[in-house]
Amino acid sequence: MPDLDTIKAELRAQRIELPSWAFGNSGTRFKVFPQAGVPRTPPEKIADAAQVHAYTGVAPSVALHIPWDRVDDYAELGRNAKDLGVELGTINANVFQDNDYMLGSVTNPDPAVRRKALGHLLECVDIMDQTGSRDLKLWFSDGTNYPGQDDIAARQGRLSEALHAVYERLGADQRILLEYKLFEPAFYTMDVPDWGTAYAHCVELGPKAAVVVDTGHHAPGTNIEFIVAVLLRKGKLGGFDFNSRFYADDDLMVGAADPFQLFRIMAEVVAGHALRPAAGIAFMLDQCHNIEPKIPGQIRSVMNVQEATAKALLIDRSALSAAQRARDVLGANAVFMDAYNTDVRPLLAGVRTEQGLDPDPVAAYAASGYAERIVAERVGGTAAGWGA
């Protein structure tokens, strides 16, 4: 049986990064339902993220998205974050909302558009120099909608050229995290559609490039934990964009649609000794709370990752490998399922209590009055959103 103190130490050391954009208004192409009290500025987004960390104890950094979080003074934004007990995390570039990028950004047939897109990516590295961020996350909406629309191989060449230019600009401790996505907004080809394409580009770039697995970016039925195991084995897993989905890139709360899948993914992370921050895996949430309150939604999401992680840490590894060596199929599966079927909520409540936190973060936040306060205070101004 795994040692409980070791498990508790791993859970205390867990780090989950929050997306600034989860606190703003979001929706679908059909409707964005505005919510009262939503932040209007990057500092207000960070203040809301700090609430999640205050009640969970494991979410001390906030990923920014540029230009949604563009400010005049990033050092001041960083100081503001520190005062709230959090820090600025991954910088997300955005080359998917400018009119010029209709036919692609870094893969666009027009070299002037490619230069413009590259300019934004390099600006994001400048911002990382100011925020002290380690990771630049690159997701490209680039792709085509009809066969013959453009030369698939030529677009890969253009993409590679831009990635190399950004890679050359990185500082010693900075990384590129390349995110793939099977479809949307393009529906025939995406230029980075799957882990294999992302992996190939990252290997070509070098040690400061790794792959991001967004759990909503695969074809239905994809065995994501297999991809995780393979990327970990090759030292090319850079991070996760955690969310869940029933059908497409639904960006629902991680673990909400398929908690067993999240457990299987975290089981591979634990098996790969990749849970600790020192392993260099960025565990990030990438979600949209379209109809539910955003701060409680983020708190619940962090708790879902903690629960999946606690269950993964409870897998009796020696019994599992013994059953695997004995080719005891049912025995091995039973060891795995015992961990999954363990109610870890009392364990996590105990860990929070030991950290001086309320064992029930959702109830503690609700009792804080913060939700009512921001609704009263945040009147006027423009609520943050995707600005599309």
* Secondary structure element (H or E) that encloses residue 139, with its range: strand 135-139
Distant-in-sequence, close-in-space partners of 295: CB < 8 Å, separation ≥ 6: 23, 48, 51, 52, 365, 370, 371
Q: Least distance in Å: CB of 91 to ligand LRH?
A: 11
Q: What DSSP character marks residue 93?
A: P
What residues numbered 336-375 form the site for ligand LRH, per CB under 6 A?
A: none
* Paired tokens of 117: 């897109």
Query: Which one of 103-111, 201-209, 281-289, 336-344 is the stretch in contact with Mn ion (CB under 5 A)?
Result: 281-289
Residue 286 binds to Mn ion (criterion: CB under 5 A): yes
**Residue 285, C-beta contacts closer than 8 angstroms, at least 6 positions apart:** 16, 17, 18, 19, 22, 241, 242, 243, 254, 298, 301, 302, 305
What's the min distance (Å) between Cβ of 68 and ligand LRH? 9
Contacting Mn ion within 120-159 (CB under 5 A) = none
Which residues within the stretch 198-227 sit at the binding site for Mn ion (CB under 5 A)? 214
Q: Which residues, 148 to 187, sit near ligand LRH by CB under 6 A?
A: 179, 181
CA 269 to chain centre: 15
Name the residue nearer to ligand LRH (CB basis): 17 or 241. 241
Q: Strands 189-190 and 237-242: what pairing?
A: unpaired
Q: Does 286 interact with ligand LRH (rule: CB under 6 A)?
A: yes
Give me the least distance between CB of 129 and ligand LRH, in Å please: 21
Using CB under 6 A as the binding rule, whether residue 142 contacts ligand LRH is answered as: no
Binding string to ligand LRH for residues 243 to 282, with x set by CB under 6 A, is what? ------x---------------------------------
What's the min distance (Å) between Cβ of 58 and ligand LRH?
21
Beta strand 282-285 pairing with 209-214 = unpaired
Q: In this complex, which beta carbon is closest to Mn ion, that of residue 10 or of residue 135?
A: 135
CB of 187 to Mn ion, least distance (A): 18
For residue 181, the partner it binds in Mn ion, ligand LRH, none, with Cβ less than 5 to 8 A by kind, is ligand LRH
Asked if residue 176 lies in contact with residue 205, where contact means CB atoms within 8 angstroms, the answer is: yes
Q: H or E segment at 27? A: none
Q: Nearest Cα to 183, choosing from 223, 137, 159, 218? A: 218
> Which residues, other chains included, contact 300 with Cβ-Cβ below 8 Å and sequence gap of 6+?
253, 362
- Footprint on residues 217-246 left by ligand LRH (CB under 6 A): 241
Backbone torsions φ then ψ of 87, nearest 5 degrees: -140, 165
Task: Please pick, from the candidates 74, 101, 139, 195, the single residue that binds ligand LRH as defined by CB under 6 A.
Answer: 139
Pick 212 or 348: Cβ nearer ligand LRH = 212
From the CB of 22, what's the least distance to ligand LRH, in Å? Answer: 9
